Amino acid sequence: MLIKKIALLGAAAAALVSTGANAATQTATAEVDIIAAVTLTQDQGLDFGVVASSAAAGTVTLPTGSNTRTCTAAVTCVGTANRGQFTVSNAASGYVVGITVPASTTLDDAGAGVAMNLTLTPSITSFTSTGASQVFFVGGTLSVGASQAAGTYTGTYNVSADYQ
């Protein structure tokens, strides 16, 4: 009797084990579309021109919409200024391209004076490509210190354009 029960339990356990008779296999596909990488060029550097400081701090603002800067009463602006100009090329039509510009950078004159803060503003932060080149501008506001030391102040910032 015991042997009969063991045989029945063995048969029940064997029935629970998968034999693979009901397994199915499907061949799947994979695909990718490669689009050209965008190209970004700087056509014109951001240049606030010539600025004379005074005993008070002030600002110089260069908008993205024109090369006409605004100077507060504490600083005097002389000559011309240029907003930064960039061109995005080779973007595939119909795709959104994001533009990234840092919020700020500093300009210094290699240690002779106190560095100045420059807040940056791009004219666009993204666009949908038509396949044609897209031009955009970078402007900003430069904070000039009270009695800012004379010199040529320079700085850098990274601009990027990439598919979103």
Helix (H) or strand (E) holding 100: strand 96-100
Backbone angles phi, psi at 135, to 5 degrees: -100, 140
- For each of the chain's 164 residues, which pLDDT tens digit applies? 555 555 444 555 555 555 567 899 999 999 999 999 999 999 999 999 999 999 999 999 999 999 999 999 999 999 999 999 999 999 999 999 999 999 999 999 987 778 999 999 999 999 999 999 999 999 999 999 999 999 999 999 999 999 99
Tokens describing residue 124: 């666009």
CA 145 to chain centre: 29
**Of the candidates 138, 33, 31, 32, which has an alpha carbon nearest to the alpha carbon of residue 92?**
33
Q: How many CB atoms lie within 10 A of CB 62?
A: 28
Is the Cα dihedral 93, 94, 98, 99 positive or negative? positive
